[in-house]
Structure 1
């Protein structure tokens, strides 16, 4: 029995379309009373460099907002582009346009997909997020240790705290190249100097036209003697992946000069043995 999930229109789009998009305002700078922290400029150029994972959320009375912490292993995450924010790890895909003006994050109308959420707590998560990411929120970004921290404060006093994790573009120093890799259902033996009996993904590069149709001739199958960041392979499942390919600067002599980071699983197919 085979199944296929085809998402090519989404895969070929840079990001989900928003009905409302605004241009970012010039960056503003905030300061902190903490003597050991410095406050970098809080503008879109700073926000887009990180994945922002929710670490704490309290209401005006200091009580934790438990509805925002449904899955401890998949915290709510905000990803920013220059004029749009997207919510990750909610039940539905959610996003909105935004601007930053005078220390305020101004969020436009939140839009989302309409997928049914069978877990009541997960279904309620979407509402809990959208209620707190609307209108004008106070925004500040502080340097702290190895990761920056972002704080959003709503008009009702709800306070959301996020920790930043550098994006692949930030870590590798460039936007990377978008490419599509077909991953075979089964791994193959390959050579690795440190791992005996190493099994590698078997991949080939494929191409699509602007209408999302396969074009040209796929590349030759070959073992990929490295991981694809963010991708976990399930034996027996053939996948088509949209990935970002980055050049690794100053790569070690025994390490790859290219890094692959998963952007989207475009197509999946179970292969019967």
Structure 2
């Protein structure tokens, strides 16, 4: 849009900004960050994440836990918070290599369902009853 004095207003979506269509992904972000292997000691910690997908309306793990290097645009991990984070992943080609950009859709606190992996399955959970 252009005003009478020639000032232009350009509206740009993130898709246009990154020049590619995003792949929407849901990540489970662990409460604690981990050391970033292969990066200088001065670098901040990496997120510990795994990808989730839906099966019959339930979230299930689609990957093993792994380090997440780099930022997610619009997201800052609150210390000690276990979260469910929906991101838009933009695969980009930079010269001769494939790189990625991630942008936040939403983040919400999340308590994972008990599993053998997190040590909660198979045991009774005590509840106070009146």
TM-score higher than 0.5 = yes
Counterparts of 2:100 and 2:41, CA distance in 1: 20
Alignment of 1:231-242 (within 5 A): 231-242=75-86
Corresponding residue of 1:268: 109
Which residues of structure 1 form unaligned runs of 5+?
1-29, 38-141, 144-148, 151-163
Aligned residues: 112
SS at match of 2:109: strand
Of residues 65, 69, 74, the one that matches 1:221 is 65
Counterparts of 1:169 and 1:250, CA distance in 2: 16
Corresponding residue of 2:127: none
Assess, with a 3 A threshold, how the Cα gap between structure 1 residues 258 and 251 changes in structure 2: closer, same or farther: farther
Q: Check the 8 A contact 2:24/2:87 in 1, yes or no.
A: yes
Corresponding residue of 1:33: 4
In our comparison, the structure showing a higher alpha carbon Rg is 1
Deviation at 1:31, TM superposition (A): 5.7
Q: Check the 8 A contact 1:182/1:206 in 2, yes or no.
A: yes
Q: Check the 8 A contact 1:192/1:198 in 2, yes or no.
A: no
Under a length normalisation based on structure 1, what TM-score does the superposition of the two structures give? 0.36
Alignment of 1:3-22 (within 5 A): none
Counterparts of 1:31 and 1:257, CA distance in 2: 35
Counterparts of 2:76 and 2:2, CA distance in 1: 41
Assess, with a 3 A threshold, how the Cα gap between structure 1 residues 227 and 252 changes in structure 2: closer, same or farther: farther
Corresponding residue of 2:27: 181
Assess, with a 3 A threshold, how the Cα gap between structure 1 residues 169 and 235 changes in structure 2: closer, same or farther: same
Alignment of 1:48-67 (within 5 A): none
Q: Check the 8 A contact 2:20/2:92 in 1, yes or no.
A: no
